[in-house]
Amino acid sequence: MAILPIIEAPDARLRTISKPVETLTDDHRTLIADMFETMYDAPGIGLAAVQVGVAERILVIDLQRPKEPVTEDSDPETIEYVREPRVFINPEIIWASDELSVYSEGCLSVPEQFADVDRPARVRARWMDEAGVVQEAEMDGLLATCLQHEMDHLNGVLFIDHLSKLKRDMVLKKLEKARRAKAA
C-alpha cells in the first residue's frame, strides 16, 4: 500500500468526469487500498479516485466512529476509532429526498476550508462493492452527505461549487493565501 498525492484545487484534473469501471481488476483493488491509506493519513472520511489522479468512478468512505463516547475531557490524542471502510464503485443515486440537510463540509482537495452545503437529507444509492457485488441501500446523516460529496468529485464538481460566487471566491482566496504561507 502507498500514500498517494492528493490533487488540490484549482487543479483542472479535479474537473475531469470519471469513467465507469468496466471490469474490476487487481489494479483497482490496489488503488482502493492505497486510497484508504491516503485518506486515513490525510486524515479524512472520504476520497474519490479522481482526487489521486485516477479518473474512474471509485470512491472510499470511512466515517471512523469513536470506540468510546467522547467527552469534553477526552484527549484527542488517545481517542480510538472503529474503522468502517466502505467502497463504492460506479455509484449512482437512484432517489433523493426533498428534505435538505445542511452540513459544514470540507475536502482534502480544498484543505482546511469549510462551508455549509445543502444536500438531500436522505438518498437511495446503488453501487458495486470491492468484491464486484451490486449493493443498494438508503442512507441518511453524514453517510448520505459524504456519499453525495464524493460522487460530486466523480462528476468534476467540488463542494465549493455549491456556494455563491462570493463565498466560493473567498474560500479560494483563503486556500491560495494558506498555500503561499506554507511555501514561505
Tens digit of each residue's pLDDT (9 = 90 or more) over 88-147: 999 999 999 999 999 999 999 999 999 999 999 999 999 999 999 999 999 999 999 999
Per-residue pLDDT tens over the stretch 24-42:
999 999 999 999 999 999 9
pLDDT tens-digit map of 39-68: 999 999 999 999 999 999 999 999 988 888
Q: Kindly indicate the confidence band of residue 72, based on its pLDDT and cuts at 50, 70 and 90.
A: confident
Residue of 56, 25, 31, 24 whose CA lies nearest to 134: 24
What confidence score (pLDDT) does residue 150 get? Answer: 98
Residue 48 is predicted with a pLDDT of 98
* Range 77-82 average pLDDT: 83
Distances (CA, A) of 48 to 44, 132, 156, 158: 11, 18, 11, 11
Give the active site residue among 8, 72, 99, 150. 150
Mean pLDDT in the chain?
A: 95
In the predicted model, is pLDDT for residue 178 greater than 90?
no
Q: In the prediction, which pLDDT does 74 show? A: 83
143 CB neighbour count, 10 Å cutoff: 18
Q: What does the pLDDT read at residue 77?
A: 80
135 Cβ contact list (under 8 Å, min separation 6): 126, 127, 128, 129
Question: Is 77 considered catalytic here?
Answer: no
pTM over 0.75: yes
CATH class of the domain whose range is 12-183: alpha beta
What are the domain boundaries of the chain?
Answer: 12-183
Report the alpha-carbon distance of residue 59 to residue 150 in Å, rounded: 7
What is the C-alpha to C-alpha distance for residues 171 and 153, in angstroms, rounded to an integer? Answer: 18
